[in-house]
Amino acid sequence: MGLMMVSVVRTLVARAQRGPLRPSWGLGFEVIVRTLRADWVGLSQWPVARGRAEMEGRRFPSDVASKATRTEVRDGAIVGEWMKGAHAAPREDGVVLYLHGGSYLYGSPRTHADVIARIALASGREVFALEYRLAPEHPYPAQRDDALAAIAWLEGQGVARGRVVLAGESAGGNLVLATLLALRDAGGGTVAGGVMVSPWLDLTSSSPSIARNLDYDYGTREMLVGQAKQFAGELALDDPRVSVGRAAPAGIAPVLVQAGTSEMLYDECKQWVETARAAGVEVVFDEAHEMPHAPPFFAAQMAAGAKAVEAIGAYVRGRLGG
């Protein structure tokens, strides 16, 4: 609450001097973004374990998540949670495998329950949110291996991989692409499609929008690079195995890429879309006007955030039918 109050005062002073930070941003939304930025930068300076405990202990929005049935799963190495709306299609007709973000260091199905529930309701499909292993205890490729294991587990549950849409935001978007590339290289068939929301594609954080959109987003280059190093382990940050935007994309499944036009990762997302299309990948690029990182997380505050959720739901239905 103290952080929020400081953000309110600073935002009021700033808006009195220069007006809204972005034309479509009201006072409340500008306060939220300023608070998030201070929060994330502060958490990044703590030991990772402390930051995780802080996040897991928070009260997150529950009004949408309460509209879905939640079922925890612990089946050997597979840990996660099913999220199901009241009118979800049968599981064998197709599901969403959700890979949460959090810089590969933080997050879980619990911290992301609101957005997972929104996608479940918007798509009319069950969503399985995987609790994959986190860095730095488990650097690359643990997360990719966990995602591949989850796909195999779903097949064992009667869901063919061709009836699975992978989805994830930020680091989860990176993981979606890493998994699609691994499936392509393995040659055993791929999934129905992927949804990459604000994917973290260049771990060197070298695209122009990193600096251009700094004031409109809730991270810093220093924070991103520091977190990337903990995930990459012994690999260089520009290695295409971790900076998956540098990997040749030809032959992967169709994807939806969604990015806020005011987020720091915007340019790397747009560049990857152009590269993937040139390589013959079927790509839909959904640009959320003046939104910061991960637009669907702001569905309750901004129309553009709600529209982003609707776009994901429509894409999933298009890939799976119905």
Q: What's the longest Cα–Cα distance across the chain?
A: 59
What 3-state DSSP class applies to 322?
Answer: coil
Whether omega for the bond prior to residue 141 falls within 30 degrees of 0, making it cis, is yes
- Edge to edge, what strands does the sheet with 255-260 contain? 69-75, 78-84, 126-130, 95-99, 164-169, 193-197, 255-260, 283-288
3-state secondary structure 251-302: CCCCEEEEEECCCCCHHHHHHHHHHHHHCCCCEEEEEECCCCCCHHHHCCCC
What is the spatial distance between Cα 270 and Cα 106, in angstroms, rounded to a whole number?
A: 26
Can you read off the two tokens belonging to residue 190?
Answer: 């791929």
**Burial grade of 321 (CB within 10 A; 0-12, 13-18, 19 or more):** exposed
Report DSSP state, residue 87. Answer: T
Report DSSP state, residue 161. Answer: G
What is the spatial distance between Cα 292 and Cα 21, in angstroms, rounded to a whole number?
A: 12
Q: Which residues are catalytically annotated?
A: 170, 263, 293
What is the spatial distance between Cα 256 and Cα 179, in angstroms, rounded to a whole number?
A: 15
